[in-house]
């Protein structure tokens, strides 16, 4: 099937399926979100959105830590070796031109309502990302990986004998 482009040229079907004037994305180590206006454009790296989400989740009482079991263990080892805490641990984001989707792995405290904690986390993450970046957050998926019980991770247990 041929298509007339208006200037007398006919293009084949494969060429007509290609979007015209599509901006080329610069492939880099980190994908970026572009917010454009009449005055210019703003690029926001995925890592920025990840850090915002991680910090926003940690602001909620009831969140003990972030990340799945292995990620938490690696974070503990890093901090013992003098490394900084990874703010994006337990956070995965997908950032588009104007929208973002977030996946979180969290650990809650025993005794806290998981439903209330996750709703508060979801609300805070959406608010912080939308307010700070202008991106619309389309979803925040939360996986509660564990429940922290006080004393579970104490390395020093009382010995029965001396």
CATH number for 119: 3.30.70.1350
Report if residue 87 sits inside a domain.
yes
The alpha carbon of residue 39 and the mean position of all alpha carbons in its chain are separated, in whole angstroms, by: 28
Q: Residue 66's closest CA among 27, 118, 113? A: 118
Tokens for 15, please give them. 């060429």
Task: For the chain, give the mean pLDDT.
Answer: 78
Task: Look at the chain and report how many structural domains it folds into.
Answer: 1
Report if residue 112 sits inside a domain.
yes
pLDDT at 68 over 70: yes
pLDDT at 9 over 60: no
The answer to whether the CB of 57 falls within 8 A of the CB of 106 is: yes
More confident residue, 69 or 8: 69
Report if residue 23 sits inside a domain.
no
The answer to whether the CB of 60 falls within 8 A of the CB of 136 is: no
Q: What is the mean pLDDT of residues 62-76?
A: 74
Q: Which domain holds residue 119?
A: 46-148
Tokens for 36, please give them. 């454009």
Report if residue 34 sits inside a domain.
no
Report if residue 40 sits inside a domain.
no
pLDDT tens digit sequence for 111-149? 999 999 999 999 999 999 999 999 999 999 999 999 999
> Roughly what angle, to the nearest 10 degrees, separates helices 46-58 and 114-133?
140
pLDDT at 20 over 50: no
Report if residue 14 sits inside a domain.
no
Report if residue 66 sits inside a domain.
yes
Q: Residue 106's closest CA among 85, 95, 122, 128? A: 122
* pTM of the entire predicted model: 0.68
Report if residue 131 sits inside a domain.
yes
């Amino acid at each position: 099937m041929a298509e007339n482009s208006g200037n007398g040229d006919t293009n084949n079907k494969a060429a007509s399926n290609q979007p015209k004037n599509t901006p080329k994305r610069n492939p880099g180590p980190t994908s970026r979100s572009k917010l454009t206006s009449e005055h210019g454009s703003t690029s926001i790296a995925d890592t920025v959105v990840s850090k915002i989400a991680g910090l926003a989740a940690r602001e909620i009482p009831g969140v003990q830590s972030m990340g799945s079991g292995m990620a938490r263990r690696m974070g503990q080892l890093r901090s013992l070796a003098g490394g900084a805490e990874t703010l994006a641990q337990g956070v995965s984001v997908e950032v588009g031109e104007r929208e973002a989707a977030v996946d979180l792995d969290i650990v809650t405290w025993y005794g806290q309502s998981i439903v209330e904690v996750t709703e508060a986390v979801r609300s805070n993450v959406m608010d912080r990302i939308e307010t700070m970046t202008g991106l619309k957050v389309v979803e925040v998926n939360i996986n509660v990986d564990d429940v922290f019980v006080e004393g579970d991770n104490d390395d020093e247990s009382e010995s029965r004998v001396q």
